[in-house]
Amino acid sequence: MRIVPRFRFPGRRRFNRNLRWWRRHLTVARSLFILELLILCGLLLFIFVGSRASPLEKLREHASILTLIAMLALFALLHLVVTRRIVRLIERRRSPADYDERRILFDLGQEARSATNIAELYNSIAGRIREALEAENVLIFVRAHSTGDYVCRVSAPQAEFDSTPDSETMKESRLILSRDAFVIKRLRHLTAPLVIEPEELETWARAFDSAPRDARETRERELEILTRIKSNLFLPIKIKEQLVGVASLGPRRAQHKYSSRDKVLLMSVASQLAFVIENSGLVERMVAQEKLRRELMLAAEVQQGLLPSGPPESARLDLAGFCQPARGVGGDYYDFILLDNNQVGIAVADVAGKGISAALVMSNVQAALRSQTMARTGSAQATLSLAELVSNINKLVCRSTGTATYVTFFYAQFNEQTGQLAYVNAGHNPPLLIRAHDAKSNHVTELHPSFTDAQSWPKTNFAAASKSKNGKTDYMKLDTGGPVIGFFDHCSYEQGIIQLEPGDLLLAYTDGVTEALNTLDEEFGEERLKETVAAVSDLPADKVRDHIVHSLELWCTGAPQHDDLTLIVLKVR
């Protein structure tokens, strides 16, 4: 039988709750007033208790009463001085500073209208929030469209965290909250600010100890960031229930808590920030598009520089070329090469694909062709055949681009002394040779001395003409060669030789010409191309080119250009 009653001492939670109550209600003015009362009581006890009160009675009757009145008057005067000066001074230093909510929101709106760039506006917003709430730091995280993670765009003060996008140490020091971060998941379901106490971070750390290793490492990195930025409050920034950004606020001065009024201000600021982030995303996309447009214009200028500015001067040939990419830059290529041995080279190539990637491959083809033709004119490789030249180009393209793409390629060299044309067709659209008269094709019966060497012209195939049905125009397709270049490292090619006569016309083109579509999705076609060329075959090369281009423009009127257009017109004088 228990005789001594059981005493229950207050627990830690109850003690902390009482302590918080006293801290909330025991203001500076009340504390000083209690201190003044204690001092007054101490003085009264010191004066009136014991033998110290006898001298007062001897001096005058009722002296104790007069002394008490004087003490109370002195106490009133002291209390007035303390209330007006000391209390205000202490409250100014220890209490949160007051602010004008409307003024802050108005100023932010004005700055949003006058800001010249997004970074400046972010800095201004973070700085004003930090100044108004006297926070240790303020950071603004914005969701990246590419990854969905939240990247720190600005911090106040700026010297504390390196969040500058142009920083060389950006990859190592930039603060990033993953889209799967625990705090981000909580903020997605909240509309009000989230207050994080240090005890909560410790609880999270203990809870993650039992998580899988990958998840634990991810949460540890998240806790490391939250600890580093000393987050005490997170402000969700939403647009149509989508979390587009997060603002992190550090502890307030003198460990003051964020009040309900502070949270209302922050929610109003979050609404403005949401529109700023949305508009900044649009502006950044516009800037990126403008930058891409300028880069495409520059790439187009560079590509135009790779194409010949005009045909070379030749006593036997009349040349003209045309190239129009479908996307500013493209994978089509043509070239005129004036060689030292009284020969003129022409090339037409079509890289699989379009845009910048095809243009880069095209530049490789151009560099490979130029290097090989220049080397061939030297004494060491003077006997190198066109078939070997194209085989070498194929190897160079394979090594520089891999097997991710391929190139159809046609290359020919015209000997001005003999009128013979040697060529190799590597999977390209067969160029059309239109004879100037109604006669059988002139087969090569006698070669120029420079072509009689077996090493110079191995695997030679003499092309034959096919007479057209109407008996007026002969068309010959130059299809001797081999596979496309860029697919296989080791390929063998053949070369063809034909004899050209004055008035003969050669048209080399890419598939964009014959596959040009009109508004009914009908192709221009090879037959229509033959008819177009035959109608003007007696004109100079540049006139033939202009007529073909004009016919294509009429055919494609109202329809977008789907592929690059490239052609070369060669006419023998």
Question: Does residue 222 contact residue 177 with C-beta atoms inside 8 Å?
Answer: yes
Q: Do 278 and 316 have their domain in common?
A: no
Q: Do 267 and 321 have their domain in common?
A: no
Does residue 294 sit within a domain?
A: no
Q: Which of 254 and 49 is assigned the larger pLDDT?
A: 254
Which residues are registered as beta bridge partners of 414?
344, 421
State the pLDDT at residue 399.
Answer: 85
Does residue 526 sit within a domain?
A: yes
Sign, CA dihedral 469-471-472-477, equals positive
Residue 52 has pLDDT above 70, yes or no: no
Between CA 55 and CA 363 the distance in angstroms is: 114
For residue 467, the SS3 value is strand
Quick one: how far is CA 434 from the chain centroid? Answer: 51
% pLDDT > 70, the chain: 76
Sign, CA dihedral 11-16-22-25, equals negative
State the pLDDT at residue 34.
Answer: 77
Q: Do 349 and 247 have their domain in common?
A: no
Q: Do 268 and 350 have their domain in common?
A: no
pTM for this predicted structure: 0.57
State the pLDDT at residue 459.
Answer: 39
Q: Do 120 and 222 have their domain in common?
A: yes
Does residue 33 sit within a domain?
A: no
Q: Do 418 and 565 have their domain in common?
A: yes
Tokens 């809870």 correspond to: 207
Does residue 145 sit within a domain?
A: yes
Secondary element (H or E) of residue 156: strand 150-156
178-203 average pLDDT score: 86
State the pLDDT at residue 447.
Answer: 34
Sign, CA dihedral 363-541-501-477, equals positive
Does residue 74 sit within a domain?
A: no
Which residues are registered as beta bridge partners of 239?
242
Least confident residue range of 28-42, 79-93, 314-328? 79-93
Phi and psi at residue 319, to the nearest 5°: -115, 150
- Please report, to the nearest 10 degrees, the dihedral formed by the alpha carbons of residues 286, 289, 291, 293 taken in order: -140
- Residue 552's CATH number: 3.60.40.10
State the pLDDT at residue 26.
Answer: 63
Q: Chain-wide mean pLDDT for the chain?
A: 79
Question: Does residue 510 contact residue 348 with C-beta atoms inside 8 Å?
Answer: yes
Written as six digits, the tokens of 244 are 């587009």
Q: Do 127 and 260 have their domain in common?
A: yes
For the chain, the C-alpha Rg in angstroms (whole number) is: 44
Residue 279 has pLDDT above 80, yes or no: no
For residue 100, the SS3 value is coil
- Please report, to the nearest 10 degrees, the dihedral formed by the alpha carbons of residues 522, 526, 529, 530 taken in order: -140
Q: Do 326 and 397 have their domain in common?
A: yes
Least confident residue range of 102-106, 190-194, 561-565? 102-106
Which residues are registered as beta bridge partners of 233?
195, 249
88-98 average pLDDT score: 65
> How many C-beta atoms lie closer than 10 Å to residue 150's C-beta?
26
Q: Is the peptide bond before 308 cis (omega within 30 degrees of 0)?
A: no
State the pLDDT at residue 526.
Answer: 93
Strands 495-499 and 460-462: parallel
pLDDT digit string, tens, across residues 389-424: 999 999 988 888 766 689 999 999 999 999 999 999
Residues in the chain: 573
For residue 219, the SS3 value is helix
Q: How far is CA 26 from CA 20, 29, 573, in A?
A: 10, 8, 108
Q: Do 149 and 239 have their domain in common?
A: yes
Written as six digits, the tokens of 450 are 């420079």
Number of helices (H), then strands (E), belonging to the chain: the values are 17, 19
Least confident residue range of 70-84, 173-187, 480-494, 558-572? 70-84
Q: What confidence category does residue 337 fall into, taking pLDDT thresholds of 50, 70 and 90?
A: very high
Does residue 53 sit within a domain?
A: no
Residue 233 has pLDDT above 80, yes or no: yes
342-351 average pLDDT score: 93
Does residue 557 sit within a domain?
A: yes
Which residues are registered as beta bridge partners of 460?
495
Does residue 31 sit within a domain?
A: no
Secondary element (H or E) of residue 230: none
Question: Which residues, including other chains, have CB under 8 Å from residue 106's CB and lie 6 or more apart?
Answer: none
Q: Do 316 and 278 have their domain in common?
A: no
- The tally of domains found in the chain comes to 2
Between CA 282 and CA 239 the distance in angstroms is: 14
10-17 average pLDDT score: 66
The DSSP code for 338 is E
pLDDT digit string, tens, across residues 115-166: 777 788 888 888 888 888 888 899 999 998 888 999 998 888 875 555 444 4
pLDDT digit string, tens, across residues 521-551: 999 999 999 999 999 999 999 999 999 999 9
Between CA 371 and CA 426 the distance in angstroms is: 18
Residue 286 has pLDDT above 90, yes or no: no
Q: What confidence category does residue 12 fall into, taking pLDDT thresholds of 50, 70 and 90?
A: low
- Residue 256's CATH number: 3.30.450.40
Q: Do 320 and 268 have their domain in common?
A: no
Quick one: how far is CA 332 from the chain centroid? Answer: 27
% pLDDT > 90, the chain: 30
Q: What confidence category does residue 443 fall into, taking pLDDT thresholds of 50, 70 and 90?
A: very low
Q: Which amino acid makes up residue 334?
A: Y
Q: Where are the beta strands (DSSP E) in 341-447?
A: 343-351, 407-415, 420-426, 432-434
Quick one: how far is CA 453 from the chain centroid? Answer: 57
Task: Look up the domain containing 554 and give its range.
Answer: 307-572
Residue 453 has pLDDT above 50, yes or no: no
Q: Which of 88 and 152 is assigned the larger pLDDT?
A: 152
Q: Which of 457 and 255 is assigned the larger pLDDT?
A: 255
Question: Which residues, including other chains, have CB under 8 Å from residue 38's CB and lie 6 or more apart?
Answer: none
State the pLDDT at residue 482.
Answer: 94
Q: Do 272 and 343 have their domain in common?
A: no
